Amino acid sequence: MSLPDTTALAAPLVALRGVGKIFAGGTRALAGLDLDIRPGEFVSLLGPSGCGKSTALRIIAGLSEPSEGAVAWPSAAGRGDKSRLGFVFQEPTLMPWASVFNNVKLPLDLQHVPAATVADRVDAALDRVGLTEFHHAFPRELSGGMRMRASIARALVTEPQLLLMDEPFAALDEITRFRLNDDLLQMWRSLRTTIVFVTHSVFESVYLSSRIVVMAARPGRAFTELTFDPPSGRDQEYRTSAVYAENCRRTSQALAHAMAAGGEP
Amino acid sequence: MSDAPPAHSGEGGNPTRAGERKSAPPLSRGRAELRVLLPNTPMQGRRERALRIALPIIVLAIGLLLWEAVVRVSNVPPYVLPGPGRILQTLVADWSLLGRSLLVTLVTTLEGFLLAAVGGVGLAVLFNQSRLVEYSLYPYAVILQVTPVVAIAPLLLIYLPQQAAVLACAWIVAFFPVLANTTLGLNSVDRNLSDLFSLYGASRGQKLWRLKLPSALPYILGGLRIAGGLSLIGAVVAEIAAGSAGAGSGLAYRIAESGYRLNIPRMFAALLLLSVAGVVIFYVLSLINYLALRRWHESALGADR
């Protein structure tokens, strides 16, 4: 079902080979997952709950060790260089006792970045997500969407090569989600970063991604892949276009097949 | 996700509105009750606050007047039950003695409290950093806590100099709530935040200082609020246990001594000072709690959203 991949020739940023994960309780979350993430891609992992998409993301991030298989970082410094990773959780996951500024500054503090450049970098990250005026505010004082923006700013402040996002907009209302989708695409284009985005929304994944990996459950595995034209012209118009509708239809179909293959939950 | 469904549920799905149309009287009564519980205008909020301050004072005044009246009318001698007026007189007359004793007890309480704070938080951090230490020592912390301090105090007085024994009692009673609360707080860290720290390669020290301790702060402050009152109790228990044998001159010692001398008004005066000291300690710690948490923690936020 996949179209010719334009970035197929570039060396992958990260490559998963036969990755499996068995939790301590004996539950098998992933089995034989092969996945290449190439520089500049916007890859969505799409699938029903229990298909291991979040587990795969955590394994890429190094937050969880695979039980089987290997994760390789062929290009550049590799995973040892933690500053090249950004992670956005489903919840904003901000420190409630710290201002927005200090929350965004956290990754730089933890990596002992010299103080001279820190303030400028934090300001730039806040500016990028449109929170400049709120840098003194505490997370409690912000709306859900603004908290998520702060969380994204924190992930971007280290200028990561790879941004991992675990259903970041799932808890937000639709209007906020659409705006953040657009803003995220704009950041992706201007920063030329690579994004792996976990979602269970067909519409969101089609809107954002250059490639969708549809996953099936029991055991969690990659079921099929769909590749779309580079999402350069994605805007409100695209959201209502026939192309978008067709892409959503194809993706929904693939997801339905994947769910049938995974059995009923 | 159109606007229609919420509007619909707002009309039909709200039972109080439906009830308003059918039967007005019960609902209006319900609203009045609600208003007492949740003041929704600034004026009502002020009246609420005024009542909260005024009512206990009125109750106190009535109680004191009744007490004074009973003592005067039935001519109770002061060595049986002194009236409030007599107690106040004694407080003023004996102030040089009682004031000095108050200071002694307060200093002991403060020292015990500080030791409990440092010891409780310190032990909790130690337990959190090393499971082996926790397994080795935690049972003894519990034993120290569950054994009544009144029973330990005489032994401590045999082996320690009196001032040290009193301090040790204050510490024993007060440190456990700090330890237990801090342990709970250190274990209540948001798991995603903890992952985030790992992702950026945070050291153990960074995790402790920047993540665990701030997360635990509301719990620590809650423990300290309990410990403040308890260290006063510990100090008093030890002073009483030391009794006339000791050279101490704390407020509890004054109470015991006045008891032997049947100086009942002075007993009451010393007791009054102890209560006031306890209340002041509680409110000072509550204020610190509020100032530290008001910007971010649910417990210290106002009703306004």
> Quick check: A77 pLDDT over 90?
no
Separation of alpha carbons B305 and B303, rounded Å: 6
Separation of alpha carbons A196 and A90, rounded Å: 14
The residue among B195, B199, B204, B297 with the most chain A CBs within 10 A of its CB, best to mutate, is B199
- Which residue stretches of chain B are H helix? 4-12, 15-22, 24-37, 42-73, 84-93, 95-129, 131-146, 149-159, 162-186, 191-199, 204-206, 213-242, 251-260, 264-293
| pLDDT classification of B135: cutoffs 50, 70, 90 | very high
Residue among A95, A138, A174 whose CB faces B193 most closely: A95
**B199/A63 Cβ within 8 A:** yes
> Quick check: B29 pLDDT over 50?
no
Instruction: Tell me, yes or no, whether B211 and B277 share the same domain.
Output: yes
Instruction: Tell me, yes or no, whether B259 and B175 share the same domain.
Output: yes
Instruction: Tell me, yes or no, whether B282 and B244 share the same domain.
Output: yes
Structural domain contains residue B17: no
Q: Which residue has the higher pLDDT, A219 or B44?
A: A219
Instruction: Tell me, yes or no, whether B57 and B134 share the same domain.
Output: no
> Quick check: B23 pLDDT over 70?
no
Model pLDDT for residues A31-65, shown as the tens digit of each residue: 999 999 998 999 999 998 888 999 999 999 999 99
pLDDT at B247: 56
Separation of alpha carbons B189 and B49, rounded Å: 36
Nearest to B120 by CA among B214, B184, B206, B166: B184
B1: nearest CA partner in chain A:
A174
**B201/A110 Cβ within 8 A:** yes
| pLDDT classification of A108: cutoffs 50, 70, 90 | very high
pLDDT at A243: 87
Say if residues A165 and A88 touch (Cβ distance below 8 Å). Answer: yes
Mean pLDDT of chain B: 84
The pTM score is 0.81
The residue among A106, A163, A176, A179 with the most chain B CBs within 10 A of its CB, best to mutate, is A106
Q: Any idea what the Cα angle at residue A177 is, between residues A175 and A181, rounded to 5°?
A: 120
* Residues of A in Cβ contact (< 8 Å) with B192: 89, 91, 93
Domain count, chain B: 2
A97: nearest CA partner in chain B:
B296
Instruction: Work out the minimum CA distance from B227 to partner chain A, whole angstroms.
Output: 24
Structural domain contains residue B180: yes
Structural domain contains residue B6: no
* Range B35-59 average pLDDT: 76
pLDDT at B303: 53
pLDDT at B5: 39
Domain that holds residue B222: 84-300
**Parallel, antiparallel or unpaired: strands A221-227 and A42-46:** unpaired
**A97/B214 Cβ within 8 A:** yes
Structural domain contains residue B138: yes
C-alpha distances in Å from residue B130, one per residue of A61, B136, B137, B175, B209: 27, 10, 11, 19, 16
Mean pLDDT of chain A: 87
Name the domain boundary from B13, B46, B75: B75
Q: At B252, phi and psi to the nearest 5?
A: -65, -40
| pLDDT classification of A261: cutoffs 50, 70, 90 | confident
**Residue B131 belongs to domain with CATH number:** 1.10.3720.10
Instruction: Tell me, yes or no, whether B266 and B289 share the same domain.
Output: yes
Separation of alpha carbons B167 and B173, rounded Å: 10
pLDDT at A9: 57
Name the domain boundary from B75, B97, B112: B75
